[in-house]
Amino acid sequence: MTLSKTRTSFYRRLFVAYLIDSGRATSVPAVVEATGMPRRTAQDTLTALAELDILCAFEQTQGERHHIGRYVIRDWGPIDAQWVAANATSLATALGYPRPDDASP
């Protein structure tokens, strides 16, 4: 089944939010590594989470400089985080990403 651009974008956002919330990927390089998506796509996807009312914030590590820290999901907005977690493998498969259970958090 071929996914539309709209559905692919939606699934990608949900999956990236899941990776952050589960602690599997809390930085842009970690998202790139977990998914294989280009760095710019990862950055754009993190920014686009706000369009779904998912509140994703960057927390700088105390005492560090130069944007060293991690992303956290503070609020899933209207999205059911439990549904996303339960369907993370299906989302990854649909997007052609490695299954989230293939790597430890």
Residue range 58-86, pLDDT digits in tens:
988 776 666 778 999 999 999 999 999 99
70: number of Cβ within 10 Å = 15
Residue 35 lies inside a defined structural domain of this protein: yes
- CATH code at position 54: 1.10.10.10
On whether residue 105 sits in a domain, the answer given is no
Q: Is 22 part of any domain?
A: yes
3-state secondary structure of 104: coil
* Residue-number span of the structural domain to which 38 is assigned: 5-95
What is the pTM for the complete model shown?
0.89
Query: Does residue 104 sit within a domain?
Result: no
Distance CA 43, CA 54 (A): 15
> Residues 14-37: pLDDT tens digits?
999 999 999 999 999 999 999 999
Structural domain count, the chain? 1
93 touches 66 (CB < 8 A): no
Across 76-104, average pLDDT: 90
3-state secondary structure of 84: helix
Domain presence at residue 19: yes
* 55-60 vs 69-75, strand pairing mode: antiparallel
